Amino acid sequence: MQDSNGQLRTLADFEGKIVIVFFGFTQCPDVCPTALSQLAQAVNQLGEQADQVQVIMITVDPERDTGAVLQDYVQLFHPDFIGLTGTAEQLHKTAQSFKAFYVKVPSLDPNQYNMDHSAAFYLIDRHGQARSLLNGDASPDDLAHDIQLLLDEKH
């Protein structure tokens, strides 16, 4: 997927950090802003160790979520969060690799639509290995606890 500068990014770019991946979209009415707020609170609980964590939101709506739009959105929640977008094909492959679900839901107005998507936090260790899957309604305390467990592991 691509960051706000159009640079292709992979998990390997974040080796050495704990990565939390969340699939969502900027026009999401409730689930995504709540999830990002919870992530921001969890990261803030980590204090000085927060710089060892990277939160990434991957858009399920690349049609509307350009790199700039997505980056502005995620940084409303925390200045260190990044957003990734890309082509429909890139999204499909990335979502498949995480086993994430998303589907476009049309409305009566052909110019409007919504996105249904799985809401989960994927926690990835410093070596790029998936280690934990938390429900999207996990509390900031639960998120911080699981992130801390990964931070405390020996390299």
Q: Are the beta carbons of 35 and 24 closer than 8 angstroms?
A: yes
CATH class of 11-152: alpha beta
Residue partners of 73: CB distance under 8 A and separation at least 6? 26, 57, 65, 83
Domain ranges of the chain: 11-152
Task: Report pTM.
Answer: 0.94
pLDDT, residue 155, reads 62
Average pLDDT over residues 119-146: 95
- DSSP conformational letter for 5: T
In this prediction, residue 33 has a pLDDT band, given cuts at 50, 70 and 90, of very high
Q: Please write the tens of the pLDDT for every residue from 34-73.
A: 999 999 999 999 999 999 999 999 999 999 999 999 999 9
Which residues of 16-151 form beta strands (DSSP E)? 18-24, 53-59, 82-84, 102-106, 113-117, 120-124, 130-135
